[in-house]
Structure 1
């Protein structure tokens, strides 16, 4: 869902004219415009009344600057657009299909958005009937068409010009289509009264032709040719029912009085009809507000001229999801006067919500990562200057405690930026190969103190758990954050039980889950289950968003679960939440089993160097576009014995490098204007192939290594202290 990740940064006038009153306290339209560009299909943002505020390029290319209410070329289309708008304002979402515009027919999906619900997000997806055509075409050309052929039914999909789009092998053989590649359907089929005769070099015999509209607006239909003796030997209604039941699209036939004659199994599934009983009228399938439009459309198609069109309705089984019901008039099929097409789009709607949620999380993550990166530059300067001041003050001085307090608060702020970077999957992790039970054992003593006396902690471990590769410290933070949230949920209930369980999940079990998100592989799973108050369904989809919290003001930052989400995703894992009100909540984390190379040695942590071991010598070229960071880094390196030459961009650094004969180290920021760090290093190594490089960045080392194709470079994450900078410089200079 585009636009959901928009946040207020700076206000800019949108692409289309809007009065100042509309902009006051409104959304950031520059962010809205950026979010709309992520959508490949036409999309716009309007007021609740339909006034156009912003549109993406796809909409402008197709419809120009016309507001939604001006798109329809006929009165019926305008009424459908207004109905979709009013449904969205009233219920939160609405849709319309088959709207005739100057650029052809289109479908519309409308959703109410904004913190006050005072804006509408419009999207114009491709016609659902085109999707139906694709499903029918694929089905007829594969096993479905062959099954019909084995039962004596010739089938083909034909467009409005008579061209055969696809057919089963029985039709191809009987009609001689292989020898007539360019033949049209009408050229292969000749009529003889009520019977159809297939002409394929010779008369095959009488057949009964049944045409089923697939894409009503463009005239695409499915043709089924039944052997005449089969029709004579069996009741027509029974044979037609058997034919309808094998189709993958929901079809139903209605008589002139508006009553159901028959419907196939796909229609029953899509409409939520269970058992052998079925409603008498199509209007019985929809909610009260949609009964009159459905009944009126059926009546007009049954008694008037044969027409077709789509109607946006909400089924009684699921009023929250509007669907498109295709209604087409029929002639020449006995009692059947109207054909209804309905597709079971529950899985499609589920996938659409998942994609929308993932898109929203990605947009918000990019925003959070950018803010954290810029903030890390500021914190680097603050922490660095505090370290330099502490070198001139000793404990007991009047300013010492104040400086320590500033540094302590700066480190707390750095922790917040690490949480934002964790959510955006840009945090610097130090992954190790480990076992989940070992991590839980390390943190269990802390958990018992955090949970208190009213919450019982139960830990269960499964057998044959595979090892995983993750940062143990960050994984402990994941467990603690989930446990603290569970404690708060159970405290309001007077206490409860927190169960932490580990168990293996093999690839076969993952395949049985049928998840569209979880790839089929071997996982080690970690579940955290509480018996608290649970999470409402309307809130469950938002729990991983940053700054979203259900706690009272002052009792939650809204970064706990967003941090959990980011750490799990950056570790290559997946996290799912399931909850029922009054019964509790369960979070399940799937981490892929690590396939360790044979003979791989375990990395050992090097001992921390002493202060007198951090001194060095030689010339260091420091490249940093932020003056405050450049200043503190220059002073820190100078105090540790280095000769420092500074540059504020890549081009200036290359000019300085040309005049330096002996340089020990190049320290550079990664993201800089004019010329970034990696580009500068590639140019520098053309004349200095053995140049040692230390990159500084507020982004994750793993992310940078994936995007930087350079060997022999080291990374120092921001914010860093004076000692950490000296350690990194000494370590890189000492490497051979």
Structure 2
């Protein structure tokens, strides 16, 4: 509870109020001296005159002294009376105990701050919901919520009031109202109210079946609430009487459409009345909060139908309008109605709130007053068209003055039979829909770029395979010290650098080959820590901490080391020009399913994870750039100092490993990357595979050499592979595509000979490698096949369901293809 104290002193009163460290004071009140003080002063003067008479023995001197005192006093009073009186304010100093009593409520939290941002008074509920020592807007909330509160504070100081519709948090969501108040308007009053979670469908059903429904029935207005599947959720008595013949009939759960029929002119009648009854028209209103994007699709939410007779079946049309207005005004849906001239007849609070109108009690004269200047003409024409045309409905996209950047959808429905009512307006907030469209477009763009990067990397790998292979063959004919040896080594080194770049492209497009293992993250961090210390230099310190009881993860350790290296290089560059260096922290954390559930993340599935955190103390990343850092070729570094592939490679490796990565940054304080890898739990198949003894039959049968069918459409790659295998003693038959390879095998078998294994590319013209392999397996079911490809092994294994299939990633060296062939023939 806020502490308030009052201190009185002297003839004047000085009052001090204290509330949570704030201090306010009132000056002395300046009242006249009481008669006791006046008597004491007079006696003092007389005593002074008597003492003077006794000392000097002269009565004349004492009388002269008294006369002088009286004369001086008279002059002082005269001067004081001539001076204008100061205006005395007609208010007293604030009593914060009274203020506290006034604001202390159970359903809301109230705080009062001064110009300096200090908390001068707070209600009990505020101190329960928030830290009593912290004044708004510096509350312990997430960054978007704090930013919204900061903006509200600035708006309130400038305009006098501000509102935040929803502040997410542990209390289930709060709405905030901020207003300037106090003497000189030097204080802000903050009101935090729990956001309403009322169900508009339940509320509407109660209205239709309750008093408002009966009020509509008295005016012969039929209404029904219908579920998306067409079943009646609620209906008033007038609808029940027209549909079934009994006003008290229970129509809940019946098929709404079954109560109607139509004629050849598409006029709709009640089925019980048939063509002898009056035709009816429908006014359709989707029942959903306009702030929720689902309300954009009228087929996904319940609907309120108002049924109007075309032939005067509702009596005086003006009599029903107040009841309709009373019903629509209480709904949480954004609804309004205009007359035939396009003027607002009424607009409920939900409509004005969705439109960003400041005063809900004073709607503007026309709907066009709510939109920007460019959309005024189109909206006015649309309202006029619906008011004068046939009873139809439709949507118009407009941009509101309150949020001109994001268009919203304004639904219009022509109304007949309600007197002046002509057009029913329903405002649907499409902000969320626009955001989702933007995210989908971004995801589509990233997917297209990834496919392009993967295709370029695959073709480039063929070129690099030939270059690296020819370098290996040339090095076999040269020894160190030859004039050409160093040049060849330089060519091979640069080719390997180019191969590394293609691996980054494949990592971004999630098409690289991973060799996943079950491992502990601290082991990977320890393996790369020595290299990181040399990479960071002496000015940047490295701190490593690990949690206990970390779960195992299944990932490629080499690729995880690449992730750490890329993040460390970025951190080093961000801390390069910081005085005194900086600090790079590597942390591993145990994250349980309960921790994930408490995060309330829409991206991270609930489960157990092992988290790897990389945190630096660099310059940080600006908020408007944080969402782009994982895009390919995007970099915050100076021109010429970054390729823009580092973080996109990290993202691709993490996603291909089944993990998630999040980035957070604060300008001037640093950046944090958090990688969540799911805890690996071996299934029954894995455990059985681990317990199964390794076969040793083929290993003992192979003694070296053999006949190989080599199928590759790239001439240079085929030539390198052929020469490499021939040098090792293999007999090699080559083919340029799958059809040629199949024919070569058939010729060999027809001659009574055999082939020990197939080495084939995957993507080839005419007939690709997998198709050829399936045809060969029909001839030789046990034929081992080694596929060569620049695409990811996991991707190929998902697309190619062939047993006894092996894989060799491009680009490869002469030694690598020879070793791969030997491993397959040995049965490894």
2:501 alignment counterpart: 416
CA offsets, 1:358-384, max 9 Å, x none?
Answer: 111111111111111111111111111
2:769 alignment counterpart: 677
CA offsets, 1:694-728, max 9 Å, x none?
Answer: 11111111111011010011101011111111111
Match of 2:451 among 348, 366, 373: 366
Match of 2:305 among 208, 223, 229: 223
Alignment of 1:637 with 2:725, yes or no, is yes
CA offsets, 1:412-457, max 9 Å, x none?
Answer: 1100010111111110111111233333333334334434455454
Alignment of 1:355 with 2:443, yes or no, is no
Inter-partner Cα distance in structure 1 for 2:423 and 2:577: 57
Alignment of 1:662 with 2:662, yes or no, is no
Q: Secondary structure at the match of 2:518?
A: strand
- Which structure ranks higher in relative contact order (CA pairs < 8 Å, sequence separation ≥ 6)? 1
Q: Secondary structure at the match of 2:628?
A: coil
Match of 1:251 among 335, 344, 353: 335
1:155 alignment counterpart: 224
Match of 1:695 among 778, 783, 787: 787
Q: Secondary structure at the match of 1:378?
A: helix
Q: Secondary structure at the match of 2:709?
A: strand
1:547 alignment counterpart: 633
Q: Secondary structure at the match of 2:812?
A: coil
CA contact (8 A) 2:711 2:741 kept: yes
2:172 alignment counterpart: none
Match of 2:260 among 184, 191, 201: 184
1:346 alignment counterpart: 431
Inter-partner Cα distance in structure 2 for 1:714 and 1:368: 25
CA contact (8 A) 2:368 2:376 kept: yes
CA contact (8 A) 1:269 1:344 kept: no
Inter-partner Cα distance in structure 2 for 1:225 and 1:329: 13
CA offsets, 1:390-430, max 9 Å, x none?
Answer: 11111111111111111111111100010111111110111
2:148 alignment counterpart: none
2:479 alignment counterpart: 394
CA offsets, 1:505-555, max 9 Å, x none?
Answer: 444554565555444443333343445444445544432222222322321
CA 1:383–1:165: 2 relative to 1, 3 Å: closer
CA contact (8 A) 2:342 2:380 kept: no
C-alpha RMSD over aligned residues: 4.4
1:525 alignment counterpart: 611
Alignment of 1:211 with 2:283, yes or no, is yes
Inter-partner Cα distance in structure 1 for 2:204 and 2:665: 43
> What TM-score, normalized to structure 1?
0.66
Superposition map of 1:447-486 within 5 A: 447-452=532-537, 455=540, 457-462=542-547, 464-486=549-571
1:501 Cα offset (Å): 4.0
1:23 alignment counterpart: none
Inter-partner Cα distance in structure 1 for 2:397 and 2:452: 36
1:42 alignment counterpart: none
With 504-513 and 411-420 compared, the bigger mean Cα shift is at 504-513
Inter-partner Cα distance in structure 2 for 1:314 and 1:287: 6
> What TM-score, normalized to structure 2?
0.59
Superposition map of 1:134-149 within 5 A: none
Q: Secondary structure at the match of 1:547?
A: coil
CA contact (8 A) 1:149 1:168 kept: no
Q: Secondary structure at the match of 2:283?
A: strand
CA offsets, 1:114-159, max 9 Å, x none?
Answer: xxxxxxxxxxxxxxxxxxxxxxxxx99x86775566547552569x
1:315 alignment counterpart: 400
Which protein shows a greater Rg?
2
CA 1:486–1:272: 2 relative to 1, 3 Å: farther
1:120 alignment counterpart: none
Q: Secondary structure at the match of 1:548?
A: coil
Structure 2: runs of 5 or more not aligned: 1-198, 214-222, 245-250, 264-268, 275-279, 287-294, 309-313, 695-701
Structure 1: runs of 5 or more not aligned: 1-138, 159-163, 188-196, 203-207, 607-613
1:574 alignment counterpart: 660
1:102 alignment counterpart: none
Match of 1:168 among 216, 229, 232: 232
Inter-partner Cα distance in structure 1 for 2:571 and 2:383: 53
Inter-partner Cα distance in structure 2 for 1:548 and 1:442: 29
Inter-partner Cα distance in structure 1 for 2:680 and 2:380: 59
Inter-partner Cα distance in structure 2 for 1:346 and 1:719: 48
CA 1:350–1:705: 2 relative to 1, 3 Å: same
1:567 Cα offset (Å): 0.7
1:466 Cα offset (Å): 2.8
CA contact (8 A) 2:349 2:360 kept: no
Alignment of 1:718 with 2:782, yes or no, is no
1:54 alignment counterpart: none
Q: Secondary structure at the match of 1:553?
A: coil
With 498-507 and 388-397 compared, the bigger mean Cα shift is at 498-507
